[in-house]
Structures are given as structure tokens and as C-alpha cells.
């Protein structure tokens, strides 16, 4: 089992807390078929800091616990954020920074689209595709319009700071 440093644990706690707060800033807009979770812009962080995946997953779990949307949301919602963050880490390995926001967009579109289809008890491809499309569009806005500039800003800071940000 890998040991985490105090700095890494604190960083994960900070990311989790920030995710919860940013999710709650817009209240009900963070949940449902058209959701705008500005906290999802942070799903690009694993491109620079792989350890951020843990904080993002914990933050999503807490935000979903507080929403009372349902137990399935705890599983699928957290899984979507986790899979998206892991996909972003894969983009890091190949240095595909422009694709870093895409895995969270796809993971959330599919899994949250499925979740909303299950909750609505609408077992039709058209309904699932509509929900996945709506979630994908809102996730695209959060991850590309907000997240990609965040990623570029962090990358610029890491290049200008000789030591970089080490976690």
C-alpha cells in the first residue's frame, strides 16, 4: 500500500472541499438533467496532479451525499467523476492536454445519462440519448470553457516556477 504524504492528504482534502462548495454554489443547477456543476472544471487537475483524482472522487461523493438525489447517484455519480479523472490521467501520459477535459465529459454523459434514465423509468434509447446529450453539453461547458483555461494556467505556472508544484 502506498503511503501518502501530509501534503498530498491536505491537497486531496482541499480539492474535495472545493468540489463540494463549488457544487453547492449553484444549488439545484448542480443536479438533474441539465446540470451545471462548475466544480467539474476541476476534473482537469489530474492532468497536472494525479493525486487530485482522490480528492475529486471524495468531493463528488460528499456532494452527492448532501443532495439526497438517491443512493444510485452515490455510485454512478462518483464513478463518473472517478473514471473521468482517471481518463484525464491517461491524457497526461501521452501529453494530450487538449483532450484532458474529454474523459470527464464522456464519463458523465454516459453514466449520468444512464442514471437519469433509470430514475425517470424511461427505457428508450431516445430518452437516454437526450439525457446523455444534455449532461454532455453542460459537462463540455464546465470542462472545456472553464477547465481547459484552468489547466493552461496551471501549466503556465508550472513552467515559470523553476521548482514546479510538487505533491
Overall average pLDDT of the 57-62 stretch:
96
**Could you give the CA distance from residue 112 to residue 109 in angstroms, rounded to a whole number?**
6
pLDDT tens string 16-42: 999 999 998 877 776 766 788 899 999
Domains and CATH numbers, the chain: 6-158 (1.10.1760.20)
Residue 164 has pLDDT above 60, yes or no: no
Q: What is the reported pTM?
A: 0.88
For 68-109, what is each residue's pLDDT tens digit?
677 888 899 999 999 999 999 999 988 899 999 999 999 999
Q: Is 27 left (phi over 0), alpha (psi -120 to 50) or beta?
A: left
Residue position matching grid coordinates 430514475: 119
pLDDT digits (tens, 9 = 90+) for 136-162: 999 999 999 999 999 999 987 777 665
The alpha-helical segments, DSSP class H, found in the chain are 6-25, 52-67, 71-93, 102-120, 125-140, 148-160
Amino acid at each position: 500500500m502506498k503511503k501518502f504524504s501530509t501534503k498530498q492528504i491536505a491537497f486531496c482534502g482541499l480539492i474535495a472541499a472545493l468540489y463540494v462548495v463549488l457544487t453547492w454554489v449553484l444549488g439545484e443547477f448542480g443536479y438533474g438533467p441539465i446540470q451545471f456543476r462548475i466544480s467539474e472544471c476541476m476534473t482537469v487537475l489530474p492532468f497536472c496532479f494525479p493525486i487530485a483524482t482522490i480528492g475529486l472522487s471524495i468531493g463528488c461523493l460528499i456532494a452527492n451525499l448532501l443532495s439526497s438525489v438517491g443512493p444510485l447517484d452515490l455510485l454512478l455519480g462518483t464513478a463518473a467523476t472517478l473514471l473521468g479523472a482517471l481518463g484525464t490521467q491517461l491524457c497526461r501520459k501521452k501529453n494530450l492536454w487538449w483532450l484532458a477535459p474529454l474523459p470527464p465529459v464522456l464519463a458523465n454523459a454516459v453514466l449520468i445519462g444512464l442514471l437519469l434514465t433509470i430514475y425517470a423509468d424511461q427505457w428508450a434509447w431516445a430518452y437516454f440519448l437526450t439525457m446523455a446529450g444534455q449532461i454532455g453539453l453542460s459537462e463540455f461547458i464546465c470542462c472545456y470553457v472553464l477547465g481547459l483555461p484552468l489547466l493552461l494556467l496551471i501549466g503556465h505556472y508550472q513552467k515559470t516556477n523553476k521548482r514546479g508544484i510538487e505533491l
